[in-house]
């Protein structure tokens, strides 16, 4: 099962420190990505193709991992404000370890960068029709972690 840990950090320096710590904790280099607003870009402007491509690409990547629309909007807003995303992909165990590493660097909580009081729906509210019957434990655990931690774990 593929999984990705995602954390939003205050700036590029913190993100680089997180990436170094991830590598030191056996997260493969090819699974680590640092994503920041393109230099000189205003991410919310639809007048420039590179900016539109950046937003569309990041949205697509987050959606493919299972991020909700609320999470996608929040991450885009964070990046727009100059924050930096760190992705760490690998096995579920590697991504879980990456979440722990990221959380030690105090990633920005969802509510902090969106200004929204309610984070994610409760675990029971996020279960899709048919999921209860299949007992999708990984999704339930992802949602528990996403609700409790700064870094979020997505598995698919």
pLDDT digits (tens, 9 = 90+) for 37-77: 887 655 555 555 677 788 899 999 999 999 999 999 999 99
| 89-98, 107-116, 134-143: segment of lowest average pLDDT | 134-143
**Nearest CA among 125, 123, 128, 129 for reference residue 143:** 123
Give the three-class secondary structure for 122: coil
Q: How many CA atoms lie within 13 A of 81 on its CB side?
A: 15
Strand order in the sheet with 32-35: 32-35, 84-91, 2-9, 152-155
Sign for the CA dihedral angle at 67, 69, 72, 74 comes to negative
Q: What is the mean pLDDT of residues 72-86?
A: 93
* pLDDT exceeds 50 at position 119: no
- The confidence score (pLDDT) of residue 38 equals 81
Decide if 30 contacts 101 (C-beta within 8 A): no
pTM metric for this prediction: 0.74
Q: What is the mean pLDDT of residues 15-25?
A: 97
Q: What is the mean pLDDT of residues 83-106?
A: 95
Eight-state DSSP code of residue 154: E
Calculate the average pLDDT of the chain.
78
* pLDDT exceeds 70 at position 115: no
| 33-47, 103-117, 122-136: segment of lowest average pLDDT | 122-136
């Amino acid at each position: 099962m593929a999984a990705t840990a995602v954390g939003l950090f205050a700036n590029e320096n913190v993100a680089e420190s997180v990436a170094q710590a991830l590598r030191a904790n056996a997260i493969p280099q090819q699974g680590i990505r640092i994503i920041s607003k393109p230099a000189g870009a205003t991410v919310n402007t639809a007048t420039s193709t590179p900016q539109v491509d950046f937003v569309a690409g990041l949205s697509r990547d987050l959606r493919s991992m299972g991020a909700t629309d609320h999470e996608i909007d929040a991450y885009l807003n964070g990046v727009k404000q100059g924050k930096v995303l760190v992705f760490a992909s690998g096995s579920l165990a590697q991504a879980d370890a990456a979440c722990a590493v990221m959380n030690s660097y105090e990633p920005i909580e969802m509510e902090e960068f969106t200004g929204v009081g309610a984070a994610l729906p409760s675990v029971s509210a996020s279960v899709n029709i048919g999921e209860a019957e299949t007992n999708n434990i990984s999704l339930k655990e992802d949602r528990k972690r996403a609700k409790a931690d700064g870094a979020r774990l997505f598995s698919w």
